[in-house]
A and B are shown apart, each in its own frame.
Chain A
Amino acid sequence: MSGETADPRTAAPTVTAPMVEAKALVKRFGDVEAVRGVDVQVRTGEAFGFLGPNGAGKSSTMRMIASTSPRSDGDLRVLGMDPDLDGPRIRARLGSVPQQDTLDTELTVRQNLQIYGRYFGLSRAEVRRKATELMEFAQLSDRADDLVDALSGGMKRRLTIARSLVNDPDVLLLDEPTTGLDPQARHMLWDRLFRLKAGGVTLIITSHYMDEVEQLCDRLVVMDDGRIVAEGSPSELIARYSTREVLELRFPPGEQGGVADRVAEFGERVEELPDRVLVYTGDGERALEQVHGRDVRPVSSLVRRSTLEDVFLRLTGRTLVD
């Protein structure tokens, strides 16, 4: 790198190139088109989310970004490099938490971390130090010399995340980080991810839990059937595609028919789900009074704020988790 020719990356230090830039990105598996033209830009230091139901193409997209899966079409730059040409160099600077844990269950917690660190060219002394630090971070220090096989699901997940941090990655990819975990384990993981973000790590997270994305992400895309159907911050998306509040009405089995039409005028929009009717409105309490005035008698009712779940429902007509 000579001083004469300006490196585009150093030319304007305040405007950093995107960590990830995808244009019309496509992934095909035989006849199945899993990703059908995705455009995203992930900026340095942000937490970026892919929200979508199972089969939306989130993992396929993540694997292409992780430079473990070649793209079928379109353009992709990760850390300014092309994964097709510079896969190993990109992977050297990424952390990857795949949907499945892929830990070596016949080795100890410490061994898993140390061995993995060696693949990134770290010395024995470095991986020893790093393993100790990461076990502390993942609250696994007291399990350091236990076999991974004996750990709980939440601990294994934490270890997978710890493992992905062994090279101090610039970008951390998390594919469904908390799927299958109990609420306590999820909150503990979220706490760790907040700390990483505060430490300047760029996070890319996929999830089919709207609360996870709402909690963690600055910006997200909603994905469905291989395509992006909306993009923005959680609050922007809610403001754009939903109302401030939602009134949920539940009825005894078989008595929900026709309700949607009768209450339609009390909200900007009404959605009928198999087990409840949702009334989208700026003022849920008022809508509930009006519903009662119309002599509609639900077995239970609930006024809540809109979430990304409502955004998804609006955009696709389906729920995220069924």
Chain B
Amino acid sequence: MAAGAETRAATGSRATGRVVGSWRAAWLRVEAHWTWYRRYWRSSLYSSGLQPVLFLAAMGLGFGSQVEAGPATGGLAYVHYVAPALLVAGAVQNAIGESSYPVLSGFKWQQDYYAVTATPVTAGQLLGGQIIWIALRVGIACVVYTLVALLFGAWLNAGALLVVPIGVFAAVACGAAIMAVAATTYNEGERFAAIFRFLVMPMILFSGTFFPIEQIPAAVRWLAWISPVWHGTELARGVTLGGLDVWPALGHLTFLGALLGVSAALARRYFYRRLVV
């Protein structure tokens, strides 16, 4: 601060602006999103909060009442089987939604990303803030879901507390990948509709959310193995229902970590390419 004032006096500068640290800059973006969210959270209530809860009620309690506890569900009631998976699926869907059109808008319609990068905040910090914000936002939705699921009696033990960070981890890894896509989208975002339909929807249906992937024909089962939702679901079930060994758990974490790392690196490159031209 003192050095800044000295330089200012020496150069006759009247400016009050200064460069903030990278984490601080990313956090300032989170603050900006929070300001927006305080005003608009109600309109996102359905997609981020209510939808997974409705699924839990319909699938876990309704449909689940017709499902006999068996080897596939680890001998447990269906609601216990499906609750952690629905959290992961909902979190991923939420993050993908928030990383598509809203991010494209920052580049294309609202163009507020260009306003931000005209300040001391850089494109990389902007991206960091976006990722942290999505983690927070998805986290809020996951906590709400977890509490409602508690009322439904969906949790068997305190392992449920770990489901939230697992869901957020899987969600953010997918979100970062979609941000990289958004940063390279120049049209109206038609590709997002295709991604939702042909990628996200099948991923949620065939990643072991509702039934074990062993039911999928062996020839296409590998598709589930490369699905981040499946890795997240395996972890989430592992911590709530047990039966997950250390090595597979590390494998799932590594897969999601690698997806996040690669996606964030690509997104960073594309953010710079788009914003610093």
Interface residues of A (CB under 8 A from B): 1, 7, 9-10, 13, 16, 29, 44, 66, 68-70, 79-80, 87-89, 91-94, 96, 98, 100, 102-107, 111, 115-116, 118-122, 126, 163, 167-170, 200
Query: Quick one: which of A80, A96, A118, A121 contacts B118, CB cutoff 8 A?
Result: A96
The yes or no answer to B110 lying at the interface (CB within 8 A) is yes
Q: Which residue of A lies closest to B16 (CB)?
A: A168
Q: Is the CB of A102 within 8 A of B114?
A: yes
Known: A115-B32, A168-B15. A89 touches B120 (CB 8 A): yes
Residues from chain B with Cβ under 8 Å of A93 in the complex: 13, 15, 17
Interchain CA distance A167-B118 in the complex, whole Å: 12
Interchain CA distance A100-B118 in the complex, whole Å: 13
Q: Is the CB of A69 within 8 A of B6?
A: no
Query: Quick one: which of B17, B31, B39 contacts A92, CB cutoff 8 A?
Result: B17
B23 to chain A, nearest CB (A): 13
Known: A102-B110, A104-B36, A115-B31. A167 touches B10 (CB 8 A): no
Known: A9-B10, A168-B14. A104 touches B19 (CB 8 A): no
Q: Is the CB of B18 within 8 A of A92?
A: yes
The yes or no answer to B7 lying at the interface (CB within 8 A) is yes
Residues from chain B with Cβ under 8 Å of A122 in the complex: 16-17
Q: Is the CB of A66 within 8 A of B118?
A: yes
- Can you report 25 residue pairs joining A to B where beta carbons are below 8 Å apart? A1-B10, A7-B10, A9-B11, A10-B10, A68-B117, A69-B276, A80-B11, A88-B120, A89-B19, A91-B119, A92-B15, A92-B119, A93-B15, A100-B114, A104-B115, A115-B28, A115-B35, A116-B119, A118-B28, A119-B25, A119-B119, A119-B120, A121-B20, A122-B17, A168-B15
Known: A69-B276, A105-B110. A119 touches B122 (CB 8 A): no
Residues from chain B with Cβ under 8 Å of A106 in the complex: 36, 39-40, 110
Residues from chain B with Cβ under 8 Å of A89 in the complex: 19, 120
B125 to chain A, nearest CB (A): 9
The yes or no answer to B200 lying at the interface (CB within 8 A) is no
Residues from chain A with Cβ under 8 Å of B115 in the complex: 98, 102-104, 116, 163
Q: Which residue of A lies closest to B113 (CB)?
A: A102
Interchain CA distance A149-B178 in the complex, whole Å: 28
Q: Is the CB of A91 within 8 A of B120?
A: yes
Query: Quick one: which of A10, A66, A70, A119 contacts B116, CB cutoff 8 A?
Result: A119
Q: Is the CB of A121 within 8 A of B17?
A: yes
The yes or no answer to B3 lying at the interface (CB within 8 A) is yes
Known: A7-B10, A92-B18. A68 touches B118 (CB 8 A): yes
Query: Quick one: which of B3, B16, B40 contacts A1, CB cutoff 8 A?
Result: B3
Residues from chain B with Cβ under 8 Å of A79 in the complex: 11, 13
5 A-B pairs with least C-beta separation: A167-B17, A120-B17, A92-B17, A93-B15, A119-B119
Residues from chain A with Cβ under 8 Å of B36 in the complex: 104, 106-107
Interchain CA distance A98-B10 in the complex, whole Å: 29
Known: A104-B110, A170-B13. A119 touches B121 (CB 8 A): yes
